[in-house]
Amino acid sequence: MKQTKMTLSQTTMNLDFVKRVEHLSGSSVRRCFQCGKCSAGCPMRSFMEHPPNRIVRLLQLGQFERVLAGRSIWYCASCETCTTRCPNKVDLAAIMDALRKLSWDADGPSKESYVQLANRLFIENIRSYGRQYEMRLAAVFNMKSGQFLKDFMLGPKLLTKGKLKMFHRKNRNLPEIEKIFSRIEELRSKDRD
Amino acid sequence: MSRIGVFVCHCGENISRTVDVEQVAQAAGALSGVAHACDYKYMCSDPGQNLLKKAVADHNLEGIVVAACSPRMHEKTFRKAAASAGVNPFLVEMANIREHCSWVHEDKAEATAKASDIVTMLVERVKKDKALAPITVPVTKRALVIGGGIAGIQAALDIADCGHQVVLVEREPSIGGHMAQLSETFPTLDCSQCIMTPKMVDVANHPNITLHTYSEIEQVDGYIGNFRITVRKKARSVDMGKCTGCGVCMAKCPQKKIPNNFDRNLGTRPAIYVPFPQAVPNTPVIDRENCTWFKTGKCGVCQKVCGPGAVDYTQEDELIVEPVGAIVVATGFELYSIAEKPKGSPIKGYGEFGHGNLPDVIDGMTFERLASASGPTGGKIQRPSDGKEPKQIVFVQCVGSRAREKGISYCSKICCMYTAKHTMLYKHKVHDGQAYVFFMDARTPGKGYDEFWRRAVEEEEAVYIRGMVSRLYQKNDKIVVMGSDISVGVQVEIEADLVVLATAVQARSGADSLAQKLGISYDGYNFYSEAHAKLRPVECATAGVYLAGACQGPKDIPDSVSQASAAAAKVMTLFARDELEREPIVAKVVDRYCVGCLACKKVCPYGAVEEKEIRDRQGTLLKVVAFVNPGVCGGCGTCQATCPSKSVELDGYTDEQIMAMIEAL
């Protein structure tokens, strides 16, 4: 994303969002004094446009659009190196988790990110089949993301090795699976309030 | 003198790395008059000193040359060691083969030859040394403290509590200094007035303290233990003996529109005034520049309304001479203004911040007055332009400080902490407001300091933005702050209602002229210099003068108070003895040769040369000659070099000795 000028005021700083992140992650955002140790040890740093320390910094300034617009939170591997080494007890891995949750709910720009699309389709797939139906997942993902021929040539290889099935078999206990999903939804909606 | 001992030091490797010390010792042993020569790794250590003492006993030495470091470093050490072995300490000389030789040369052979030469010269000099006895001078057990801020007050109280008389001189009409202006103090948020004013009262009531307010140092004569200070007591126009401090004169004064300097010109005061209601002494002064009576000869209201008849327009400046034995300088600091041109800078102030022309861009001390319960707004945060409560407030640190181009390269030390405090005070008073701080580093090295700063960030929700502000400008009724957040890497813009600049701490204007009167040294920023940055941090190089507080460099209250107590302890150490021993390296005039031209009197930096009349038995005046007061003489030798008839000699550095040293080469 282009690094445009940041105008700070009580209206442009969404501190409510920050409070939700703090609530969800159970970690203070304000404690961070920007030493950069998290970014120094992050194995995914080179893929992120905002290194972990900058994510926290943007949160401190209530700039959640900037955070969610980027893909950094989706590149986070949750290895928790940052959390383990943080001198200020900022649980950055939990903050990243919280951000991913909030990104899912917010109509933020990252809704369009492939990572999130893949995640969503993956979950939907499980919900409707009770298990993973890879062939369908790959097909739907390629269609929805508009990359029709993505990884197409992998298909035959996987098929011959039996890693990919042409036809699926639904889980026998679908209603139980559905119960799990509705329970999660219920919890999440409570969390949001 | 034929029994001289030469001791050559390796100084670890400092000397032996470039000088063949054994060879130097050998060569010295062959010199005429040298009875013993040896070398050792650390002459200054305990075994080294014992070596010297043993050699004195074994070889019955009469003079000693230690070839080692600079006499400034260890001359005292070896003189003491020699004295304990029974040799007069002034028969010990240092041959400086470290600073003057090994440190500045690389070639070993040449350096060794030079070291030998230096030793030879000093052997010749020690042959002509005379045994001297230290000079004793009486000590006046009375101290002068210059400056009545927290440092001066603390030093005065400590010395006075010890039972010695103290003269406290303050330039302003009241003591209290900067601390009296503060609202609350970090890191505990104590009310400044609550901890300061009782001390001010203690000063006023202390039987051992003589307080001269509205006074300045006019002249300083004398030397350690025996200073004579001339104090100019400026005309107050109010008789301190008669005034009851009722305040009617101030209430009735028709001239009320004078900007109040104590409130950083936010409020106004009358022409007859006390700087603040808790002033000590609570006696008003007439500001003659703004008083109608003094300008036009008409008015006289204050005199008419004064019940006890204390107002006296005819009062004049008074000069008082105070004899004292020690001086504590505690003249404090001054804040830099963005409108002024700092010393040594090609640039005038901060044009990018509006040169001080934007009314809602204020400095830290002005914010203190806004936040102070006794301030012009009664503790309400109101911006100067329209009195509105600021909802967005921006603090900018390092204004002036750490800006080499502006002429100030040092860190002002107190701003990080007081800005953190300001954000807290602001949040406590304006709950729905937001404070932002632009900073480069948060420097919080003190007990409880970093925790205090983190509290401002984490609990009081001040938004700290790492990066400096490039420009401030007025846009409608807002001040636009153009900054950047370097941890995000983007420009930041804030439309602020009020901007507070943490401007640099500077030396007092006129600090240099006071230093010249006192004969103490000061640095390029006019801060007074201590004798040694680490080991003698409260003493000046000038004997008998001590430093306390921010006149030495930026300091916060705890540091100033510590230093003030330390300076007081030094004064008490001095006063613990009735007589003071001084080095007998002083100049002497040979009356027979002196023609009385008194050229020496003109050049003496210590004012030690006096005139002496020589009369015959009938009392007829034969001639006037120069006389050097040994108590005052600093032993610099300027008179010796100046004297046209060569009739002044400095003990230990006589012409004869210098010639002998040259001839030895």
pTM of the model: 0.81
Cβ contacts of A31 on chain B, cutoff 8 Å: 454, 458
Question: What span, in angstroms and rounded, lies between the C-alpha atoms of B416 and B505?
Answer: 12
The full DSSP string for B495-535 is: EESEEEEEEPEEEPTTHHHHHHHHT--B-TTSPBPPSBTTT
Asked if residue B159 has pLDDT above 90, the reply is: yes
Hey, CA dihedral for A168, A172, A174, A179, is it positive or negative?
negative
The answer on B615 and B485 residing in a single domain is no
Looking at the complex, does the CB of residue A58 fall below 8 Å from at least one CB of chain B?
yes
Query: First-to-last CA distance in chain A?
Result: 31
Domain boundary residue among B470, B488, B506? B506
CB contact under 8 A, B487 and A34: yes
Residue B242 lies in a domain: no
The answer on B79 and B62 residing in a single domain is yes
Cβ contacts of B487 on chain A, cutoff 8 Å: 34, 53-54, 57
Residue B598 lies in a domain: yes
Residue B580 lies in a domain: no
Confidence bin at A1 (pLDDT 50/70/90): very low
CB contact under 8 A, B488 and A6: yes
Question: What span, in angstroms and rounded, lies between the C-alpha atoms of B258 and B282?
Answer: 19
The full DSSP string for B108-150 is: HHHHHHHHHHHHHHHHHHHHT------EEEE---EEEEE--SH
Q: How many domains does chain B have?
A: 5
The answer on B542 and B501 residing in a single domain is no
Task: Give whole-number Cα distances, B414 to B66, B442, B583, in Å.
Answer: 46, 11, 41
The answer on B566 and B450 residing in a single domain is no
Comparing A168-177, B244-253, B263-272, the range with the smallest average pLDDT is A168-177
Residue B73 lies in a domain: yes
Mean pLDDT of B199-224: 95
- Give per-residue pLDDT as tens, A85-143: 999 999 999 999 999 888 877 655 555 567 778 888 899 999 988 888 888 898 899 99
Comparing A106-120, B99-113, B522-536, B606-620, the range with the smallest average pLDDT is A106-120
Report percent pLDDT > 90 for chain B: 88
Task: Residue window 465-494, chain B: list those with CB within 8 Å of chain A.
Answer: 465-466, 485, 487-494
Looking at the DSSP bridge assignments, the partners of residue A117 are none
Cβ contacts of B392 on chain A, cutoff 8 Å: 9-10
Q: Which of B438, B488, B499 to mutate to test the interface with A (most CBs of A within 10 A)?
A: B488
Looking at the complex, does the CB of residue A7 fall below 8 Å from at least one CB of chain B?
yes
Residue B310 lies in a domain: no
Looking at the complex, does the CB of residue A10 fall below 8 Å from at least one CB of chain B?
yes
Cβ contacts of A72 on chain B, cutoff 8 Å: none
Which has more pLDDT, B535 or B283?
B283
The residues, any chain, with a CB within 8 Å of residue B501's CB and separated by 6 or more, are: B338, B353, B361, B362, B363, B364, B395, B396, B399
Identify the CATH number of the domain in which residue B594 sits: 3.30.70.20
Q: Which of B427, B490, B495, B497 to mutate to test the interface with A (most CBs of A within 10 A)?
A: B490
CB B353 within 8 A of CB B526: no
The answer on B150 and B97 residing in a single domain is no
CB A123 within 8 A of CB A131: no
CB contact under 8 A, B490 and A5: yes
The answer on B114 and B163 residing in a single domain is no
- Give per-residue pLDDT as tens, A170-183: 888 899 999 999 99
Mean pLDDT of B435-449: 95
The answer on B513 and B495 residing in a single domain is no
CB contact under 8 A, B487 and A54: yes
Domain boundary residue among B128, B158, B177? B128
The answer on B211 and B176 residing in a single domain is yes
ipTM of the complex: 0.76
Task: Residue window 328-387, chain B: list those with CB within 8 Å of chain A.
Answer: none
Identify the CATH number of the domain in which residue B62 sits: 3.40.50
Residue B361 lies in a domain: yes
Cβ contacts of B465 on chain A, cutoff 8 Å: 8, 61
CB contact under 8 A, B492 and A3: no
- Give per-residue pLDDT as tens, B53-78: 999 999 999 999 999 999 988 999 99
* Cβ burial, residue A163 (10 Å; 0-12/13-18/19+): exposed
The answer on B612 and B654 residing in a single domain is yes
Residue B135 lies in a domain: no
Mean pLDDT of B630-647: 89
Mean pLDDT of B120-124: 96
CB contact under 8 A, A10 and B391: yes
Looking at the complex, does the CB of residue A35 fall below 8 Å from at least one CB of chain B?
no
Which residue, among B59, B48, B63, B35, has the nearest Cα to B122 in the 3D structure?
B63
Looking at the DSSP bridge assignments, the partners of residue B528 are B522
The answer on B325 and B297 residing in a single domain is no
Residue of B nearest to A58 (CA): B488
Cβ contacts of B463 on chain A, cutoff 8 Å: 8, 13, 60-61
The answer on B482 and B380 residing in a single domain is yes
Domain boundary residue among B128, B154, B173? B128
Quote the distance between the C-alpha of residue B642 and its chain's center: 31
Name all domains of chain A by residue range, CATH numbers in brackets: 15-105 (1.10.1060.10), 113-192 (no CATH)
Chains A, B: CB pairs < 8 Å: 58
The answer on B341 and B323 residing in a single domain is no
Q: Which of B461, B487, B495 to mutate to test the interface with A (most CBs of A within 10 A)?
A: B487
Structural domain of B301: 248-305
- Per-residue model confidence (pLDDT) at position A109: 52
Residue B625 lies in a domain: yes
Query: First-to-last CA distance in chain B?
Result: 19
> CB count, 10 Å around CB of B60?
12
